[in-house]
Amino acid sequence: MTSIIQFRIPTGEVRKVDAADGETVMRAALSQDIPGIVGECGGELTCATCHVHVTPEWFDQLEPASGDEEDMLEVLDDRTEHSRLCCQIRITPDLDGIEVAVPEH
Ligand code: FES
């Protein structure tokens, strides 16, 4: 099964990417060269180069961030109440259509 992830990039354009269930949003972004998602640490929660702002209606459907993710989010200048590190968001059928915005860096 695959689900659609919608990435709103800083130009305002929305790019749709197919992601396999179980894949992280970060991996899906890298596979399609979504600008602004670097994923430097490979999902080890040490870089925060996978920061996104999740659309509020989708944010509430995510598993809460772990303590380690919270620690990384805390140091970001452009953190909002809907910030997540997208290497920690694993796609499930319930998340089909999820929209995330890539902050300007
Ligand atoms: S890829 Fe490094 S924290 Fe997400």
What is the CATH classification number for the domain harbouring 20?
3.10.20.30
| Ligand 1 nearest-atom number relative to CA 86 | 4
- Spatial distance between the Cα atoms of 47 and 60, rounded to a whole number of angstroms: 24
Edge-to-edge strand ranges of the sheet holding 83-85: 14-20, 2-8, 98-101, 51-54, 83-85
pLDDT per residue over 18-61, tens digit each? 999 999 999 999 999 999 999 999 999 999 999 999 999 999 99
Domain containing residue 6 = 2-101
Domain total in the chain: 1
Mean pLDDT over 76-93 rounds to 97
pTM of the model: 0.96
Please choose, from the candidates 60, 93, 104, the residue with its C-alpha nearest in 3D space to the C-alpha of residue 84. Answer: 60
25 lines ligand 1 (CB under 6 A): no
30 lines ligand 1 (CB under 6 A): no
| Ligand 1 nearest-atom number relative to CA 26 | 1
